[in-house]
Amino acid sequence: MVRSTAPWPGLRPPRETAAAPAWNTSGLHDMTTIDLARYIRDVPDFPVPGILFRDITPLLRDPRALEEAVERMSTPWLGRRVDLVASIEARGFMFGGAMAVRLGCGFVPVRKAGKLPWRTCSVRYTLEYREDVLHVHEDAVERGQRVLVVDDVIATGGTAAAVVELVEKLGGEVVGVQFLVELAGLHGRDLLEGREVRSVLVL
């Protein structure tokens, strides 16, 4: 079966014809057949004028695209002794939780103010379109634990840099930083200099 049209309004046209995934004996489909960029919808002027928002919900609702995204985000870190995945609410959780299961490690939620019930450590940071504070439980990371930081999108890099700072404040060792989408024009990587930074899609 060949997809001939974009699956949802607002999605870009396919760069190439994507054949339906072939299912292999492990139950996982052939990971080479899906152009994940087709499942990211560009929404101009959201949440404020001037921002081109990269909407991942079309990818989330497609089981094969979602599986491939999680797989491609996880594969580089297999065998790297990752103890914990730390992700940022809310969209980071959608990938970070699945990746933790795939990597056989634990999961640490990094959340906005007022959401975590116990004692927290916090850091203030600047986003592409606002300022905010992130919190993590004080006991979320033990000294020396190896932590992979995960988010859906890197824009300016401020959010991921804040999570790296939080993990290191608690004594964790940041193994690397993984994104689904990197907005290359915003040079967010510069804030993560010296870290191993990976993105599945560079837009």
Tell me if 176 contacts ligand AMP by CB under 6 A. no
Can you tell me the distance from the alpha carbon of 62 to that of 64, in angstroms, rounded to the nearest whole number? 6
Identify each DSSP E strand in 45-187 by its residue range: 52-55, 84-88, 106-112, 120-126, 131-137, 146-154, 173-182
The residue assigned the tokens 């907005």 is: 183
**Stretch touching ligand AMP by CB under 6 A, among 5-13, 48-56, 70-78, 111-119:** 48-56
**Can 143 be counted among the known catalytic residues?**
no
The residue among 21 and 87 lying less far from ligand AMP, judged by its C-beta, is 87
The residue among 3 and 126 lying less far from ligand AMP, judged by its C-beta, is 126
Q: Are 158 and 192 in contact (CB under 8 A)?
A: no
Tell me if 128 contacts ligand AMP by CB under 6 A. yes
Out of 155, 166, 170, 180, point to the residue binding ligand AMP (CB under 6 A): 155
Out of 74, 87, 120, 156, point to the residue binding ligand AMP (CB under 6 A): 156
Distances, alpha carbon 108 to alpha carbons 89, 138, 177, in Å: 11, 11, 14
- Chain length of the chain: 203
> SS3 of 121, please?
strand
The one catalytic residue among 91, 102, 189, 195: 91
* Rounded least distance, CB 92 to ligand AMP, Å: 6
Residue 58 tokens, joined:
């079309």
**Stretch touching ligand AMP by CB under 6 A, among 3-11, 49-57, 58-66, 112-120:** 49-57
DSSP string, 33-64: S--GGGG-EEEET-SSTT-EEEE-HHHHT-HH
The residue among 6 and 203 lying less far from ligand AMP, judged by its C-beta, is 203
**Can 193 be counted among the known catalytic residues?**
no
Contact set with ligand AMP (CB under 6 A): 51-54, 88, 91-92, 127-128, 151-159, 183, 188
Residue numbers annotated as active site: 91, 128
